[in-house]
Each structure stands twice: as structure tokens, then as C-alpha cells.
Amino acid sequence: MCLGIPAKVIEVDESGQGKVNYLGTKVKANFALLENVKIGDWVILHAGFAISQMNEEEAQETLQILREYAHIKS
Amino acid sequence: MKEFRDKKVIQGLLAEIEKNAATLKKPIKIMEVCGTHTMTIHKYGLKKLLAESGVEMLSGPGCPVCITPNEVHEAAIELVTSRPNFILATFGDMTRVPTKKGSIQTIVPAHGSRVQIVYSPEESLAMARNDPDKEIVFFGVGFETTIPAIAICVKEAYGERLSNYAVLTALWLIPPPLRAIVQAKDIAVQGFLYPGHVSVIIGKEPYRFIAEEFGIPGAIAGFEPGDILLAILSILDQMNTKKAEVANAYARVVKPGGNRQAQVIMAEMLETKDAHWRGLGLIPKSGLKLKKKYAAFDAEVKYDLRIKAGSNDLPGCCCGEVLQGKTSPPQCPLFAKQCNPESPYGPCMVSFEGACLAYYKYTWR
């Protein structure tokens, strides 16, 4: 099952282990598949591993596109 | 995230989809490859709303629990019922798949043995470290999204020389069955909604043949209703302009080249093999297995499991047809009768990514 909602990194140690906040719950996470993870990053978690860091610029761009569709009348 | 589910946004997107679909021949058949997409499409009522615009969504093979054939489930059952002091660790959905030998949940393990549900393969590795007197086998099922995590665990076990750890692999690649579906021509798929998190790992490139060789449009999609409709809009736009490509409608998470670290660990640990899929049969180079160097951690080698491929499906189950998009779940004679979420008869009713469960929960009544 893919979790589409990103989690926020709250702890990360040198070995690449840490924790994320996923919808208010602290969850263990392994960051071995990512480079330069920092506290505060938004990541996608899958089977205990963070697999992607969210690109904020792209997220904002998609939000902007979606907001424009709110004004289209059928 | 609220914009991705906002009523006005969704209505606007649907209006635009209707406009873009107007000049195209109906029904427009688009396959959602990923089981989590199937869930979103049914949960938010998009299946019916899109049908009103002439867009017919077909579920694809993107549920790893569903496409793993019964003989592999039976091999896992055989291990934990015949070996003492043995722990079979796996994801929750895997324990409920019915086979001729029962399901992992219903069988009686051998003396001192048990089944352990885990959320991450790392938990199975921790069990092997903490319990050296037990043999641990992780029944590892998954697509490209899950495979790197399993590969990392085997690499660690190899580094630590953990002799009581192995993985029964059911590792599947997404692009090969898409080629098989397109070539079979049983259903004329006109567009593909590519999986979001498989694409996080592999990027855009592995789907390019679908656009270039077969001229079929496609878009990588996220998991919110707004994400899915944006991707469908992109597919319709490609149809209208007759320019098939692999669009990325989930760019906030998917990089065009995928996740490099994940690709490196997969290439280091695993190699392709021809694999049998439920419903789709034998597909060349569609599965992965551990390389020879790591054979000691491959449960199939370690326990000399001779898994014989062939149809071990329970009689009457339509999962095989459902996974190819040939049969819609309510067309199965067992659907909502002998087969329901409380007492599933086939894996597509078990898994939270299964098309039958999605229909049962959200669309059928």
C-alpha cells in the first residue's frame, strides 16, 4: 500500500536511522536510500524506508494549477 | 493537501476532462496500473464520475499480494508448517491469501514456530539478530518501491554473516507486464496511469517504450484525487494532440531519473529472472532474485524449495482476469457471495490494493 501523504523528518542520526512524524504519529524511519536528509524535510515513507524527498517548488506549482481549476465552470 | 481533495478543484478538473474527452471516440480506456490508485479512484467516486465523461478506468496488475501466484504462498506455508523453531515474517495482507493449503493465518505452524506480521523488512532482520536460535524467513513481496528496502536488509545480513536469516522473494517489476498487456491486445488500453511510488524509484525512462513503440500516452500520478485527475487530463491532451509521451504529473515526489541510491542497491544485490504472474503467466525478465553471491540468503536455495510454476488458483476465482483488466470484479460469480472481505476467496479481495476489495468497499452498491 503506497502512503501518499508525506511525513516530516524529526530525528536523523549518522547511520541514517531516525524518526518521522506521520500524521501526528512518531514512526521509525531508515534514510539509507536518500542523500542529505535534514530535520524538517518532507519525505515519502514506504515499508519503513524514506524513498523520496518532497520538492517544495514542484508542490507549490501543482497547488497553483489546482487552484486555477477551482474557477472553471462546467 | 486540502486542494488535492477540494470539491471545486475536482469539479473544475472533471469539467476540463469532459471538454477534452468530447472529440475522442468512447469509451476511452485508461488503465490505472497501481493498486493504491485503484483505491483512490473508487474511494472518491472518480470511477463513476469519469465514466460520465466517457473515460473507463481499468484496474491493472499493480497489487503485489494479488499477482504473487499461489504456489509461492504455498511454499511459505510449507516452510512454517514443516520446520521447527522457525519464524515466517511477512506483511499483513500476505497472511490472508487463501490457497489449497489454507492461508498463512489459518495454518498451524510446526513446534516452536510462528508467523510474525511486520510493517518493515527491517523488523525481520532485527528478529534474526535478537533470536539466534530461530530461523527467520522474510516472505518479501513487492514491486520496485519495496525491493530496495529488502535488498538493504539482505546486504546487512550478509555483512553481519547472519546465518539464521533468509528471504523468500516475490519481487516484481512493473514495466514488463505493461508490455505483455499491450502486446496481448485483449483489451485495447489507450492510456496508462503510471504508479507514483514505483516511479519514485525507476523514474520515467523505463516506460518510454510504451509511448515510442506503441504510441500509447501515459502519465505518472500521485495518490490524491486531484493528482489522478491531473494525470488523466494529461493523457487526454496527449490523445488529442497525438503526441504520446511519459508525462510526470507527480513531480513534487518523482524525479525524472528516479532514486539513484535505490537503483544502485538493486543492481548490486539482484538480477532479473523470468517470472510467473497470477493471470498474466510467464513474463520474460519480469522478476528479480538475489545474485549468486547472496544465495545463502535466498530461502528458495537455502531450503531447496522447488516451487513449481503452474495454475494453483482456487477454482472459480477470477483474480487472474481482474489483474489483466479483462474482467470487472462484479462480473465474477463469486463476488460479494462466497468472496467478501470477511471471508475472501481470492487475493484481490484480501489486499488493500486489490480491485475486488475496492469495488466491494466503495463502488459496487
Domains, chain A, in order of start with CATH, read 7-69 (2.30.30.140)
Determine the distance in angstroms separating the CA of A12 from the nearest CA of chain B, rounded to an integer: 17
Checking if the pLDDT of B185 tops 90, the result is no
Checking if the pLDDT of B55 tops 70, the result is yes
Strand pairing category for A7-12 and A17-22: antiparallel
Residue B187, pLDDT score: 79
Contact A33, B148 (CB under 8 A): yes
Among B3, B34, B121, beta carbon nearest to A2: B34
Per-residue pLDDT, averaged over B332-337, amounts to 97
Strand pairing category for B246-248 and B218-220: parallel
- The grid coordinates of residue A52 equal 523520496
- Give the residues across from B87 on adjacent strands: B114, B136
Taking phi over 0 as left and psi of -120 to 50 as alpha, with beta for the rest, B336 belongs to left
Nearest residue of chain B to residue A53 (CA atoms): B253
Determine the distance in angstroms separating the CA of A71 from the nearest CA of chain B, rounded to an integer: 7
Per-residue pLDDT, averaged over A48-61, amounts to 95
Per-residue pLDDT, averaged over B80-87, amounts to 98
First to last CA, chain A: 34
Under the banding of pLDDT at 50, 70 and 90, the label for residue B311 is: low
Contact B9, A69 (CB under 8 A): yes
| pTM exceeds 0.80, yes or no | yes
In 3D space, the residue among A7, A33, A42, A27 whose CA is nearest the CA of residue B144 turns out to be: A33
Per-residue pLDDT, averaged over B325-347, amounts to 95
In 3D space, the residue among B284, B349, B364 whose CA is nearest the CA of residue B35 turns out to be: B349
Checking if the pLDDT of B76 tops 80, the result is yes
Residues of chain B contacting residue A67, judged by C-beta atoms under 8 Å apart: 3, 9
Per-residue pLDDT, averaged over B83-97, amounts to 97
Which B residues 296-335 touch A at CB under 8 Å?
A: none
Residue A74, pLDDT score: 54
Domains, chain B, in order of start with CATH, read 1-315 (3.40.50.11750), 319-363 (no CATH)
Under the banding of pLDDT at 50, 70 and 90, the label for residue B325 is: confident
pLDDT, tens digit, for every residue of B196-223? 999 999 999 999 999 999 999 999 999 9
- Give the Cα separation of B353 and B319 in Å (integer): 13
pLDDT, tens digit, for every residue of B251-309? 999 999 999 999 999 999 999 999 999 999 999 999 999 999 999 999 999 999 999 98
Please report which residue ranges of B83-195 form alpha helices under DSSP H: 121-130, 147-160, 175-184
